[in-house]
Amino acid sequence: MNKINAIILAAGKGARMNSTKPKVLQALSDKTLLQHVLIQAQQLCSQVFVVYGFGGEQVQQAINDDSIKWVQQVEQLGTGHAVVQAMPQINNDSISLILYGDVPLIEQSTLKKLIAQAEKQGVALLSVILDNPTGYGRILRKNGKIQAIIEQKDANIEQIAISEVNTGIMAVNSGLLKVYLDKLDTNNAQGELYLTDIIAMAVADGKIIASVIADNEFEVAGVNDKVQLAELERVFQKNQATKFMQNGLTLKDPLRFDCRGTLSFGQDCEIDVNVLIKGDVSLGDNTLIASNCILKNAKIGNNVAILPNSIIEDAIIGDGASIGPFARIRPDSNIGEDAKIGNFVEVKKSTIGKGSKVSHLSYIGDTTMGRAVNIGAGVITCNYDGVNKHQTIIGDGVFVGSDSQLIAPVTLGKNATIGAGSTITKDSPEGRLTLSRSKQISLKNWNKPIKKN
């Protein structure tokens, strides 16, 4: 195989995005448009050139990859002019693969076909059949062989009716490409150097243009505005969902599922509607993720139930645990086996022991909790003194009554009981009942307030 050079055209401003960011830095799932293209290019090519223009410094900083060769296109004078900028650094005995930074869903299998054809014929072109080809350059054929590409603004009525269009993606012998680029002129409606004009030049030289037709329209779809970006986002998510289901994941509605990261899962896992996966998430066997949950960088064990409207971030959930509904597990939390984190409970930077329960309306922060602990409703660990965070230690078998405050730093000994409504400021001994309440009184001369007119 010849040496392969990717030339990714990424100089456009993308004015229709109405954004301060260059078009190629708009996000599709968890990556920029350009990053999606780079992933494919770097897996196939020995060198990757990115031709940048508008916001070039911003693009380079966002990508932050020293292996990329950055090439500036000071003036945007057309696709041919953009490719010319990279050619001085490319050897003749190689293949140049032309890609676009705003065409993010091109598949590696398609590019491999294109490169293989270029190695045989010297010039290979990727096209696609569209029901509505408006705006695209049309592929002109004679006896089935490609003769040229005509841009819509330069096409006649008969040519405009053609449904096979140019994607702009091509693979060309680099030596040939340099020869043809030198011959380009601006004799067209746009007054630019069209890369597509090299096809007619190659045909005039007696070259056969190898043809690869994309199987999927989404592979070659470009992004010019936020509407098209949203449309491709849904295609991307649907494709991911299909792969997950083929590998055994149950999705109640694949059209209402988003994975903006990586997801691994065991057998018999089920995900309900409107679940968002971010970062790196793994699910064990027989795990249920109910509707409206957000999981980010979470490791979730076997036989776990994540109930509706719960958020888990940078945390570990042990086998058999139950989380939610409406629970929030914040970073650096480790929920033990068979533990229960219930309604409207927030856990932050804490370890919850096996079989412990925090069932409702509580905040547990900077806490190490043992096994079989029962935390009543409305309990909070007061871990912040306004300057520093402090630890709460709760031993095995502790029972904390409802509406209690644990003022850290504090330790509750094994099998201690905290009476409801207590404010605990000192360590509680093992096996003892600890409580703090003022004496209850009833006032004889008190009158209930009357509403004023």
User: Three-class SS string for 184-203?
Assistant: CCCCCCCCCCCCCHHHHHHH
Q: Going residue by residue through the chain, which has 453 residues, state the pLDDT in tens, using 9 for 90 and above.
A: 469 999 999 998 888 999 999 999 999 999 999 999 999 999 999 999 999 988 889 999 999 999 999 999 988 889 999 999 999 999 999 999 999 999 999 999 999 999 999 999 999 999 999 999 998 999 999 999 999 999 898 899 999 999 999 999 999 999 999 999 999 988 877 888 989 899 989 999 999 999 999 999 999 999 999 999 999 999 999 999 999 999 999 999 999 999 999 999 999 999 999 999 999 999 999 999 999 999 999 999 999 999 999 999 999 999 999 999 999 999 999 999 999 999 999 999 999 999 999 999 999 999 999 999 999 999 999 999 999 999 999 999 999 999 999 999 999 999 999 999 999 999 999 999 999 987 877 778 878 778 887
CATH code, 370: 2.160.10.10
Domain that holds residue 302: 226-434
Residue set of the binding site:
9-12, 23, 73, 78-79, 100-102, 137, 151, 166, 224, 330, 348, 363, 374, 377, 383-384, 402, 420, 437
Chain-centre distance for alpha carbon 64: 18
Q: Is residue 439 part of a domain?
A: no
CATH code, 99: 3.90.550.10
The number of distinct structural domains making up the chain is: 2
> How many helices (H) and strands (E) are present in the chain, helices listed first?
8, 37
169 and 235 in a single domain? The answer is no
Query: How many CB atoms neighbour CB 130 within 10 A?
Result: 16
> How many Å apart are CA 425 and CA 423, to the nearest integer?
6
Residue set of the binding site for Mg(2+):
102, 224
216 and 233 in a single domain? The answer is no
Catalytic residue among 36, 81, 360, 390: 360
319 and 418 in a single domain? The answer is yes
334 and 355 in a single domain? The answer is yes
CA dihedral 363, 367, 373, 376 (to 10 degrees): -20
Residue set of the binding site for acetyl-CoA:
377, 383-384, 402, 420, 437
User: What's the DSSP call for residue 439?
Assistant: P
185 and 236 in a single domain? The answer is no
17 and 137 in a single domain? The answer is yes
111 and 187 in a single domain? The answer is yes
- The predicted model scores a pTM of 0.89
Residue 277: both structure tokens together: 């996966």
> How many Å apart are CA 44 and CA 196, to the nearest integer?
23
Q: Is residue 408 part of a domain?
A: yes
Catalytic residue at 360? yes
- What residues pair up with 352 in beta bridges, in sequence order? 335, 369
271 and 298 in a single domain? The answer is yes
291 and 194 in a single domain? The answer is no
Sign of the dihedral through C-alpha 382, 383, 385, 386: negative
Q: Is residue 442 part of a domain?
A: no
- Starting at the edge strand found earlier in the chain, the sheet holding 357-360 runs 250-251, 270-271, 288-289, 305-306, 322-323, 340-343, 357-360, 374-375, 399-400, 417-418, 433-434
